[in-house]
Every structure is written in structure tokens, then in C-alpha cells.
Structure 1
Amino acid sequence: MDGPTTATGDERSAPVASRALVVVPALNEAPSVGAVVQSIRTDLPHADTLVVDDHSSDETAYEARRAGATVAQLPCTLGVGGAMRTGYRYALEHGYDVVVQVDGDGQHDTRHLQELVDGLAHADVVIGARFAGADPYAVGRARRGVMLLLARVLSTLLGVRLTDVTSGYRAVGPRALRVYAENYPAEYLGDTLEALVIARRCGLQVVQVPVRMTAREHGSPSQGLLRSAVYLGRALAAIGLGMVRRWSCEPAGEVL
């Protein structure tokens, strides 16, 4: 398996955390969230698990607790970005150094958790990337084209080759944790694309490691030319917002 893809230049050599928290944003994931929590505890046993229940109408919170996770229940639905901001703030307040995001639907293969955490030895943000050599991942031709275009745009902005900028399977280290606890965007696609723009503007180093993912168990991704075109427009808007908004960056406390 290929190692992390990283930018050229000085590496940050950020220490791998002594305390890690896996955050699972979940909305109506009762059928799968218990198994996800159990697999996290098996594959990254030294980490704690926080399930952020995004105001589910099913038994997501119950199943997560039954599997051994701590649960934060939101009073209204905030989306993945809002749920992750809750997770980042919880991690910062409780003394964690690393946060790893894992979807509650079982799409993310938790056997890669340690690889993501290990990647933080040389970066602030580590993306678990499909299309990077670990395993083929089936996706429609139109959507795949959009994802390739977005990967090229973000690769140019960040100065590092990335292949899967919409992946939500990521780990962040201490510097990125402080930035994201303050700034993490809640809008659609902000939690993936805009978050990378924030990393670039705050001087955080981003790398990727190849991972396997399975097809989502609930819902369906956008397919077809029209939906893919709409998706592309919204994605480029998210990137543009990230470039013009003002962000508070650590450790210097600058507003960029």
C-alpha cells in the first residue's frame, strides 16, 4: 500500500496524540451505528468514541450507547459540519489531541484508523482517500468527473496532490483541532471542501492515505449530468466561500 501523499517542503513533524477521540456524526443511523462503534473499539482500542446524534428520530443514541460510545444529542439537525464542530469542541474541552471522523453508516473501513492517526506524525490533516490505490470504488461517470475536477482545484490551492477531497474519513492533529473547533463550517460541502481551504489559509499541512470504503447503506449519491452539474456548482461555491471568509487561525491568533 502506498504511503501518505504530502506536499513538498518542510514537514511539521507534529507528534501523534496521546489521547485520540473518534467522532461519529450520525443522523438516523440506528441500524448501523452500533456495529460502527464496535469496529472502532476493535481497530483503535486506545481511542474514545463520541457519537454526535444529529437530532435523529430513531434509536441512534440508544444503539450508540449500547455499543459503548459517549453520545452527544443535538437539539436540532445541524448537518455533518455542525455535528463535527460539536465533536471538535468536545475534544478540545476534554483534552484530546487527535480527532478522527468516521461516518455512522458503515461506509468507512475502520481498519485504516491507525494509518490515519500515524499520518499525523508529518501533517495536521490526514484524508482517507478513495481512488488512491487501496481499492477500486464504484461511482458514476459524471460524478467521478466532478470529483476529479474538485480534486485538481484543491490540489492546486493546497500545493499537494489529492485524489479524494470530498472524503469525510479524516484525522486531525492538535493544530487543526484548535482551528476547526473555532471555525468548522456547517454548510453543505463545507465540512469537506471548505474545511480544506481553511487548512490552506491557516497554514495547516494536509496529506492523504489510501483507504477502502464500501457503498453507503442508506440514501444514494447524486448521479447523472444534471445533478452532477448542480453538485459541482455548489462545491465551487463552498470553495469560494472558504477563500473569502475570515478565519481565526492558531497558534498566532491571526484573522485571515
Structure 2
Amino acid sequence: MKKLIIIPAYNEQESIKKTVEDIMEKAPHFDYIVINDCSTDKTKEICETEEFNVIHLPVNLGIGGAVQTGYLYAARNGYDIAVQVDGDGQHDPQFLSKMADYMEAEHADMVIGSRFIDKEGFQSSGARRVGIKYFTMLIKLLTGTKITDPTSGLRMVNREIIEFFAEEYPKDYPEPESVVAILRRKKKVLEIPVIMRERSGGVSSISMKKSVYYMIKVSLAILIERIRK
């Protein structure tokens, strides 16, 4: 099976080299593609100097557009599995083979790496954990499925979902909304325990000032996605 790691990166000059090297060491049976989302720091130069597999976007599309570019690349190049690994170093690639085996054994359409099942490693800030629990309850209310880590970017999908996401993917804070989109289509979404690390560099796209907007926007997007025909 052809397996691809999608690495969205925006201003990740402090961590992108280590992230890719970690992937090559711990997940050698996966291909990878860095999606440089028009970074304004030295991310582009580092990728070119290190001769990483990379797509440089001409304009900044945001996390949703960057990840969708990766899914489009996966669809066009015949990949059977695609998994998102963020460029900030939080996701440990040692879990990717386990996720792929679990996906195949359970015939899942999406497998999410959750930090909240075994509650090991970095658990995010207290404020963010409150938001995560809120989205867990909202998704359970609307779909009947409990997702313990709905904001996790460490998500693996099969060929059918690759093709769907290549055509249709949320543009802004996409993780909870895209999970609901999959569940609404009666697809099988499972979680597996993983250990995440603290961001090794750069700044999160969700600042404290954006938190209220994030909660309202994503809640409305989930509700709209749930009632769509």
C-alpha cells in the first residue's frame, strides 16, 4: 500500500528539519510531502537546502488549504493512505505504523491519534482542554460518536476519504468540522492512543485573542455540516 505523510508548514523554520528527519528515521515506509504555506521565514530555504520533498504554495491558504493540497497530491499520485503530521514537531511518527495497522485491521476510514485516551505526554493547555471537551460533547450530541481528541491534527485516512478531502475540505480550523463530515457520511472513525510533544518552535495559529472566534466559528461550521444534505 502506498502511504503518504502530509506535512503542512507555515513559518516552521525552527522545527521543520527535525520533523522531516524524525519521519525518515521512524516511518521509513511512508513517503512524505511538505506543504510550505507561503512561509515568510526560512522554511522554504531550509526545505530546498535539505532537498526535502516539498510543494511551495504561491499564496498563504491557511491550514485547511495546505492540508487539502496534500490530499490532492495524494489522490493524483495513487496513495492508499494519507496521514497529517504537523510541521511543529508535536506529532511523533513512531505511531504511524501502528495507526496504519489498526486502520487495516478494523477497516476504518479514519484513525485519529488521541492524547487523551491514555493521557500520557503533552496534554495541551488547560484552556484548550476545556475547548476540546466542549467539541467532544458537541460532536457526540450531533453524531452519536465520542471523539476524545477532535482537534488532533494527527489523522490517517483511507483512499476513499483522500479523494473526498481532495475535493471538499474545511478551510479554517478544519479538524472538528472534517470529522463531522466523515461521520455524517456513515464512515468509520476510530481513535488510538498516542503521545504528543510540546511544540518545538514557532507560534500556534490559535492565539488567546482568536479563541472565542475559533469556538464560535467551528461550532457553527459543525452545526451546518451536520444538517447539510
- Tell me if both proteins adopt one fold, taking TM over 0.5 as the criterion: yes
Aligned equivalents of 1:142, 1:134: Cα separation in 2:
16
Q: How has the CA–CA distance of structure 1 residues 58 and 218 changed in structure 2, closer, same or farther, with 3 Å as cutoff?
A: closer
TM-score, normalising length: structure 1: 0.81
Count of residue correspondences: 225
- Residue equivalent to 1:148: 133
Q: How has the CA–CA distance of structure 1 residues 125 and 228 changed in structure 2, closer, same or farther, with 3 Å as cutoff?
A: same
- Residue equivalent to 1:240: 223
Please tell me the root mean square deviation across aligned C-alpha atoms, in Å. Answer: 2.0
AA in 2 matched with 1:151? T
State yes or no: 1:21 paired with 2:7: no
- Residue equivalent to 1:179: 164
> Any conservation in 2 of the 1:37–1:68 contact (CA below 8 Å)?
no
- Residue equivalent to 2:81: 98
How far residue 134 of structure 1 moved from its aligned partner, in angstroms, is 4.9
How far residue 19 of structure 1 moved from its aligned partner, in angstroms, is 0.2
- Residue equivalent to 1:204: 187
Write the mapping of 1:92-171 to structure 2, written as runs, cut at 5 A: 92-121=75-104, 122=106, 123-171=108-156
AA in 2 matched with 1:242? E
Aligned equivalents of 2:143, 2:160: Cα separation in 1:
17
How far residue 233 of structure 1 moved from its aligned partner, in angstroms, is 1.8
> Any conservation in 1 of the 2:34–2:53 contact (CA below 8 Å)?
yes
- Identical-pair percentage: 36
- Residue equivalent to 1:249: none
Q: How has the CA–CA distance of structure 1 residues 138 and 96 changed in structure 2, closer, same or farther, with 3 Å as cutoff?
A: closer
> Any conservation in 2 of the 1:194–1:241 contact (CA below 8 Å)?
no
Aligned equivalents of 1:67, 1:46: Cα separation in 2:
20
AA in 1 matched with 2:125? G
Structure with the largest fraction of helix: 2
For 2:170, what is the secondary structure of its paired residue?
coil
Match of 1:77 among 56, 60, 79: 60
For 2:112, what is the secondary structure of its paired residue?
strand
AA in 1 matched with 2:70? G
Match of 1:54 among 11, 17, 37: 37
For 2:148, what is the secondary structure of its paired residue?
coil
Aligned equivalents of 1:166, 1:34: Cα separation in 2:
24
